[in-house]
Amino acid sequence: MLLAGTATVDITPPAGSLMACFPRAPNREPRRAEGAHDPLQAKVLVLRDGEQVAAVVACDLCGIRKIDMSRIRARVAADVPALASERLAFACSHSHSSVENLYLFGNSPDDPFILVMDEKIAQAVVDAHSDLEPVRAALGTGAVELNHNRRVLDSHGRATNAWEYEEGVTTGAVDPELAVLKLVAATGRAKAVLFRYTAHSLTLGPGNQLYTADYPGRARAAVEAALPGCTALFLNGAAGNIHPRKCMRDDFTAMEMIGQALGQAVLDLADAAVELAEPRLRWSSDVLTFGNRVDPALQVDVELSCLALGSVVLGFVPGEVFVEFQLRFRHDVAPAHGIFIGYANGWPGYIPTLAAYPEGGYGVDLCTTDPPEYSRTALPPGAGEAILERLVEMAQRVVDT
């Protein structure tokens, strides 16, 4: 019998705290939040099937560092030994208007707010484990045309960024798939709706000084309003080169439009979702280690996880992965349905394809201002292909076909 438990916790920092991304020139001074437009949240889904147990924490964060993951996992394991470290996966929405917890522009893992946030997330996992009840699982998928590939080649074959959608210009690889996993309690109530869409959480630009979960938060709110008692969890995909079609705006109009449209699409697919027959829960995790591209004396650990429910398998990959890997993952694990999740289980930075290196551009060219141990361009060429190969192997071991 498949059991599921959920919990939600507010992780919004107080006004005046540092914000993720977009430090201000010339001194790379981080933005400070004037308040919050909507709450930043961590939402937890715990699944149990006999002795098999796993948890997913979906956070309104740009990313998450290993030190915070380790702290949260240790706290959870002390209360719920079944949820050992490798059984707890993290997935970040990649909101650029969240807290600065990647420690690139300020803050540190020992700041009081960060310690409180980690404790809140850990307690939410424990609470979700106490909320377990029998559920049925169903899957719905469809195409939603709200994203585009931001990489555009100039006349010299060099990659530049087109922030917003331009018909006939932003024509690179893109994955419009919206995948919706619905968990229904015995009463018929939707217990949880977990949905994966692929686009930067970046409808707001550097001029924004209010914390917000961006379009994923708006989509979640729409789902939860329509399904009372349901917990909606957003998971981002391989959005390393994928933006929402309306992006980097100075107001919340695009966020509302995209969030509402996505939320309605989630509800439609949840309503039409096909129940999974006897979905067995299976879990696999592994760590790959690479040399640091910036500093050869350092290493970069990449933690991978696979969660399978019958013929559906979720692959969790850290960092900002180019969408081509997501498309290959779904192809390579067929006839099972593969759902690729990026910004998960740590932050090793950008993961481009080998083909992108001659083109250069953002996400490929070295970020020379980052500390080497936190560099966004720490992984060497070919790391993405090695990660995909291992993830496919893991998925094929745990999925029912």
Question: How do beta strands 281-291 and 242-244 pair?
Answer: unpaired
Domain residue ranges in the chain: 284-318+339-398
- Residue 396 pLDDT > 90: yes
Range 53-58 average pLDDT: 97
Each residue of 11-20: pLDDT tens digit? 999 999 999 9
* Strand ranges in 292-389 using DSSP code E only, listed in sequence order: 299-309, 312-316, 320-321, 337-341, 350-351
With a pLDDT cut of 90, the percent of the chain lying above it is: 91
Retrieve residue 369's tokens: 């201002």
Query: What is the rounded CA–CA span in Å between residue 213 and residue 59?
Result: 9
Each residue of 296-342: pLDDT tens digit? 999 999 999 999 999 999 999 999 999 999 999 999 999 999 999 99
Range 115-123 average pLDDT: 98
Each residue of 230-254: pLDDT tens digit? 999 999 999 999 999 999 999 999 9
Question: How do beta strands 320-321 and 350-351 pair?
Answer: parallel
Query: Between vectors from CA 164 to CA 162 and to CA 170, what angle results, nearest 5°?
Result: 55
Question: What is the rounded average pLDDT for all residues in the chain?
Answer: 95
Retrieve residue 188's tokens: 């018929």
Query: Between vectors from CA 312 to CA 2 and to CA 91, what angle results, nearest 5°?
Result: 85
CB of 181 within 8 A of CB of 194? yes
DSSP state of 273: P
With a pLDDT cut of 70, the percent of the chain lying above it is: 100
pLDDT of residue 278: 82
Give me the residue label for tokens 């991304």: 21
Give me the residue label for tokens 């924004």: 208
The candidate with the shortest Cα–Cα distance to 147, out of 173, 121, 179, is 173
- Residue 401 pLDDT > 70: no
Confidence of residue 382 (pLDDT cuts 50, 70, 90): very high
CB of 45 within 8 A of CB of 128? yes
State the CB neighbour count (10 A cutoff) for residue 294: 23
Query: What is the rounded CA–CA span in Å between residue 264 and residue 223?
Result: 7
Range 35-52 average pLDDT: 96
CB of 211 within 8 A of CB of 12? yes
Each residue of 72-116: pLDDT tens digit? 999 999 999 999 878 999 999 999 999 999 998 888 999 999 999
End-to-end CA, the chain: 19
pLDDT of residue 299: 95
The candidate with the shortest Cα–Cα distance to 246, out of 261, 233, 232, 234, is 261
From the number of C-beta atoms within 10 Å of its C-beta (0-12, 13-18, 19+), residue 264 rates as middle
